[in-house]
Each structure stands twice: as C-alpha cells, then as structure tokens.
Amino acid sequence: MNIVNYIKEKGLKRTILVIYQYKIDIVIQKMLYLFLKNKELKNIIIIESHNDFDAEGGAFYDYLIKKGYNEKYKIIWLLKHKVNKKFKLPYNVRYFYIFKPSIMKDYYINIAKIFTADNFITPKLRDEQKSFFFRHGAGGLKNTKGIGRIPSTVDYILGMCEDYSDIERDQLSMSENDKRLVYLGFPSHDVLLSDNHDELKKITDNKFRKVVLWMPTFRKGGGYNRNDSEREQPLGIPLINDIKEYENLNELLNNSNVLLIIKIHPMQNLEDLKIYDTSNIKVLTGDKVKQIRVDNYRLMSCCDAMISDYSGAAYEFIQLDRPLAYVLSDVNDYKLGFVVDDIEPLIAGKEIYNFKDLQDFINDVVLEKDEYKEKREKLRNIFYKYHDTNNCKRIVEFMGL
C-alpha cells in the first residue's frame, strides 16, 4: 500500500483506521512467525461468525461445547462487537477483537490448527494449518460475485449441493479445477431443523394463529453508503409505501390473528427506517436482536411461513418445507443483478409485487393453501445434499477432531 496515495484517495482518518484495524496485526503476526514457524501447532480452533456467536460459526461452536471438545481444544473467538467485561465463557474458551491489535491474538493465529470463518477470513500463516470458509448463509437470488474475495489460504469452502455447484462456483469466482468445495451441510441447519419453540417467547408472550417472518435483504447502508436498489424505500423496507398502508397491513394481520415479524438486516441503514411495533407486527433491528438474543435459525424454525426477496434467507427456510414468498417490487431496480438471467426456475413460492399480493399470501398462509409445495421440495433437493441435523458431526469428522 502506497500510504501517500492512499491518504490522498481515502483521507487521513480512513488511513489511520486501516492501519490500526488491519496493518498492525499483520506486522505482529509476521514478527511472531519468525520465532514460531517451526513450532508444533497446538490444539486451537479459531472461530469467526457473521455477527458474533451466531450463524455458522455460532452453531458450530455450540456443538463443540455441547460435545465437550473444549476439553481437548482451546477455542478462540474473533469478535466484531464489544462484550461486557463480566461476560463469561466456558472452560478453555477466549475471545479477542478482530479489529483491535493484540500480541496474544496474533500468537494464537500463528499456532492454531483450525480456522473457521463466516464472513471475515483471517488468513492462515502456515501450510499445515487448515482454514474453513463456512460462509454466512446459503446462496440466494442476488448476484454477489466479486463483492468478496476468498483468499488462496482457505482450504475448504462449505458447498450446498453438487447439483447447484455451477452457480456456486460462479458466485464464488471459483474455476472448475478448484476442488475446495466440500458438501458436509451447514452448521446452522442443525439448529434450523431442531425444536426451538421457546424462541418466540423472546419476542412476545401472546399466542397467534400463524407467525410469518419477513426478512428483507440488505439494500442500503453497510458503512460505505452502499445502495443496492435504485428504488426509494419510504419506510426503510420494500413494498410498503406509507404509514397508512402499514396500518392497513396491521389491521389485516389483526383480523386473521397473525403475527408478522419484520427482521431488518443488521447492515441496513436505520436512518430511513420508519416502521414500528404494532399489535400484530414486531420489528427486529440488529441492536434489538442482540439485546434479546434472538437467533435467526431458531426464529425461522418457529415460523409458519417466510417472506423474503433476493437473499439467501429464503434458501435456508426452504429446508423447513414451509410456504415462502418473494417480494420482487424492485426487481427491475436492483443493481446487483441475479445469479442467473432467468430467476423464475429458482423461485419456490409466491411472487409479491404489490400490497394486494402481500395480502393474498397472508390469506393463503391462514387458510393453509400451499400451491408451491411440489416445486419447493424439488428445489430443496437441488440446493442441499442433506436435510438432517448431522452437519456439525460431519464437519468435525472431516476436520479429524
């Protein structure tokens, strides 16, 4: 990095932040490597997840603790968010912050046997170390090719299914000769396909006839003024155009005794968010999710139906074989494009373009009308090799723990 040019392009504040969050650790790691490169690797597993203790890394960690692997292996968490100093971890588990320099953290990175990452990949330093990219969810409709780069230091990448591998390879910018995709299942699906009926109690004590989860994909925010849709979202979510329409939605839900949970993407810009809790709508922002400790996959498993759009959330919920709908109101304004030119064959539920379509889907859920079941089951088998709760077990066996 030419620091003078970088300062001119990004500014002094951004340059200092990059040096502090990334470059200092790299220097420390390289210095320690000179002394540790010939030392035997230790029984250490380093884990990173999408939003700390969640998603794939979180589910894998929970399995390791449940099965007592922390007796043999020291587990190191790399966190993005600050935790309370009184925060207690199980025996032989420690945490460090990814974006804060630490000699001890860099020491462990030099001698750990296993790395796993959902999102931010810490490059391994030695050939004999093994690095696994778990990803932070299944592939969806949106084109994410080129947004993230998978380093050559990653040894294995969790794949969905051989039948879907052409699209996966394209999205991950992998050549046909790249053999790093392994089909073991996703740790989070062990949670998704388990009994998690108590998760709803974190959100409400009320009983409803049906519960529908709406998870709009990320469109605007991310810290770098990113905006993936050219269509304005007056209330900070797609489809709903004004407060009157939002109130009408709540009335429809109330009349049918349906709860709608709208879970906002953790990276979404909240300045534009104008929706709020009502009698039959609960809004979960990233902060709220952390406050009440809601897990995406446990929550999905409690819901009777899902509304999604272009994100991978729909293609995880499909494992439950329950009704799905896709909000496509800004399909012609979505900047990222899609994984294929014609998305129709990959859509496993009702397409929602306007408020009337949304009403119809909710009514179908209430009446248990499920006209897309056959197509959903067919796509489910194309997307995933496994539909059980043995994914973590397969990964542990593959790692040789």
Note whether 139 and 163 are within 8 A (CB). no
Note whether 47 and 78 are within 8 A (CB). yes
At residue 141, the pLDDT reads: 82
Give, in order, the Cα–Cα distances in Å from 281 to each of 109, 243, 256.
Answer: 44, 13, 13
At residue 219, the pLDDT reads: 59
At residue 227, the pLDDT reads: 61
Query: Tens-of-pLDDT digits for all 401 residues of the chain?
Result: 677 777 777 788 888 888 889 899 999 999 999 999 999 999 999 999 988 999 999 999 999 999 999 999 999 999 998 988 888 999 999 999 999 999 999 999 999 999 999 999 999 999 999 999 999 777 778 777 877 789 999 999 999 999 999 999 989 999 989 999 999 999 999 999 998 888 999 999 999 999 999 998 765 555 556 666 556 678 888 899 999 999 999 999 999 999 999 998 777 677 788 999 999 999 999 889 888 989 999 999 999 999 998 888 899 999 999 999 999 887 777 657 787 888 898 999 999 999 999 999 999 999 999 999 999 999 999 999 999 999 999 999 999 99
Identify any residues that bridge with 114 across adjacent strands, giving them in sequence order.
45, 130
Domain 3-190+388-399 matches domain 195-383 at the CATH topology level: yes
Eight-class DSSP state of 21 = I
Q: Is the pTM of this model over 0.75?
A: yes
CA proximity to 396, closest of 159, 195, 132, 197: 132
Question: In sequence order, what DSSP letters do the residues of 272-319 get, joined into one string?
Answer: G------SSEEEE-HHHHHHHT--HHHHHHT-SEEEE-SSTHHHHHGG
At residue 229, the pLDDT reads: 55
Class of domain 3-190+388-399: alpha beta
User: How many whole angstroms separate alpha carbon 142 and alpha carbon 308?
Assistant: 12
Token readout for 370 is: 């499920």
Contacts of 248 (CB under 8 A, 6+ apart): 355
Helix pair angle (24-36, 103-111), 10° resolution: 50
Identify any residues that bridge with 115 across adjacent strands, giving them in sequence order.
46, 131
The fourth-level CATH superfamily of domain 195-383 is CDP-glycerol glycerophosphotransferase, C-terminal domain (3.40.50.12580)
Domain spans, the chain: 3-190+388-399, 195-383
At residue 1, the pLDDT reads: 60
Note whether 228 and 144 are within 8 A (CB). no
Token readout for 154 is: 């990653």
